[in-house]
C-alpha cells in the first residue's frame, strides 16, 4: 500500500540544476530550508516540526522531539518546509541545488524503501518520506570513513531527491562485488550495501599519494551513487587558491602577472 504522496517532476539545467515538482490537489512535498526556488499561486507553504512523515505522526510528543532532534546531529534544522497544493488543479513548486552538480531522483518504492546518503545530500521529497539518521555500526568506519558515525536515511515508498557535486555515476554492485572509493565521493547507497573503510597500502602511497589514508569500501549487492566533485574538495581548493601564493605558468611572465595583480 502506498503511504507517500505521489508526485510528478522535471529536472532542469546541466551543472546548476533545479527540480520542478507538479502537485495534484492536496498533495504535499517537503524540503530542507533554503532550497526553495519558486511556486505557483495555489501552493501554500508551512513550516513543520521534523519531516511530517506518518512514522513521526504515530509517535508521542517526546518521540517527535527525539526524532526531530536527531536531525541536529546531521547538521540540519529541527524544522522542514511543507508545500501543499490547495487548489484542485495541478500546481508547481521548484527547488534548487545549493552548489554546482546534479540532482538525483530516487524512487524509494523501487529501491527497497530505504536509502542511506551523506549528511547534507537531501533536497526534497514527497510528504510521507521519513528523513532520519543512520548510525555507522563499525568503529573504524565512523572514525575514518569521511562521513563520520552519522549519515542520513530516507525511508518510504515515494520520490526523494538528493543533490551532489560534479557528475553523478550510478553503479550496480552484484553480491560480493567490491568498489573502493574516495570517502568524500559517496552520495548514497541502498540498504544492503556493506560500507567499510580500508587503509591505503604502501608507505609511498600514504606519504606522497595525496589521496588520504583510507578508502571507502562498498560491497554488493546493491546500488551506489558517486559524485565527481565533493563540496568539501571544492571548498578546500577555493580556500587554497584564495589564501596561498599563485603559481602562474612561466617564471618571468608568471611573476610579472602576479605583480600586476597586486601579489
Q: Please check whether residue 1 lies inside any domain of the structure.
A: no
Alpha carbon dihedral 228, 233, 235, 237, in 10-degree steps, equals -110
Residue at 156 is within a domain? yes
Residue 27 covered by a domain: yes
Tell me the CATH number at 24: 3.60.160.10
Q: Measure the CA–CA gap between 152 and 136, rounded to whole angstroms.
A: 11
pTM of the model: 0.81
The residue segments making up the domain with residue 134 are 8-229
**What are the φ/ψ torsions at residue 111 (nearest 5 degrees)?**
-125, 30
pLDDT of residue 48: 85
**Residue 184 covered by a domain:** yes
How would you class 14 by CB atoms within 10 Å of its CB: exposed for 0-12, middle for 13-18, buried for 19 or more? exposed
Quick check: is 254 in a domain?
A: no
User: Kind of pairing, strands 168-173 and 130-135?
Assistant: unpaired
Decide if 250 is inside a domain. Answer: no
- Spatial CB neighbours of 262, under 8 Å, sequence gap ≥ 6: none
Is 239 a member of any domain? no
* pLDDT at residue 168, rounded to an integer: 94
Is 188 buried (19+), middle (13-18) or exposed (0-12) by CB count in 10 A?
Answer: buried
The pLDDT tens digits along the chain (263 residues) read 557 888 899 999 988 899 999 999 999 999 988 899 999 999 999 988 777 775 555 555 555 566 555 556 655 667 889 999 999 999 999 999 888 899 999 999 999 999 999 888 999 999 999 888 887 655 444 444 444 457 889 999 999 999 999 999 999 999 999 999 988 899 999 999 998 888 765 454 444 444 556 788 999 999 999 999 888 777 777 777 767 655 544 444 455 445 444 44
Record the cell numbers describing residue 207, joined without a space: 606519504
Instruction: Please state the domain count of the chain.
Output: 1
Domain-located, residue 242:
no
Instruction: Check residue 253 and give its pLDDT.
Output: 46
d(CA 89, CA 22): 10
Amino acid at each position: 500500500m502506498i503511504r507517500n504522496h505521489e508526485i510528478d517532476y522535471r529536472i532542469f539545467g546541466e551543472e546548476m540544476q533545479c527540480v520542478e515538482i507538479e502537485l495534484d490537489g492536496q498533495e504535499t512535498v517537503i524540503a530542507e530550508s533554503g532550497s526553495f526556488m519558486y511556486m505557483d499561486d495555489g501552493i501554500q507553504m508551512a513550516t513543520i516540526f521534523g519531516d511530517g512523515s506518518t512514522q513521526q505522526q504515530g509517535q508521542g510528543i517526546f518521540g517527535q522531539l527525539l526524532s526531530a532532534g536527531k536531525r541536529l546531529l546531521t547538521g540540519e534544522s529541527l524544522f522542514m518546509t511543507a508545500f501543499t497544493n490547495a487548489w484542485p488543479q495541478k500546481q508547481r513548486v521548484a527547488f534548487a541545488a545549493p552548489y554546482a552538480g546534479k540532482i538525483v531522483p530516487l524512487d524509494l518504492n523501487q529501491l527497497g524503501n530505504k536509502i542511506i546518503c551523506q549528511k547534507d545530500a537531501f533536497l526534497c521529497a514527497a510528504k510521507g518520506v521519513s528523513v532520519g539518521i543512520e548510525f555507522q555500526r563499525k568503529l573504524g568506519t565512523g572514525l575514518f570513513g569521511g562521513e563520520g558515525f552519522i549519515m542520513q536515511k530516507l525511508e518510504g515508498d515515494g520520490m526523494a531527491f538528493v543533490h551532489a557535486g560534479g557528475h553523478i555515476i550510478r553503479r550496480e554492485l552484484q553480491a560480493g562485488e567490491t568498489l573502493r572509493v574516495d570517502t568524500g565521493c559517496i552520495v548514497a547507497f541502498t540498504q544492503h550495501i556493506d560500507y567499510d573503510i580500508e587503509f591505503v597500502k604502501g608507505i609511498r602511497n600514504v606519504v606522497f599519494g595525496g589521496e588520504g589514508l583510507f578508502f571507502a569500501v562498498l560491497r554488493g549487492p546493491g546500488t551506489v551513487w558517486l559524485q565527481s566533485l565533493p563540496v568539501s574538495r571544492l571548498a578546500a581548493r577555493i580556500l587554497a587558491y584564495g589564501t596561498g601564493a599563485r603559481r602562474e605558468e612561466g617564471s618571468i611572465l608568471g611573476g610579472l602577472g602576479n605583480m600586476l595583480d597586486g601579489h
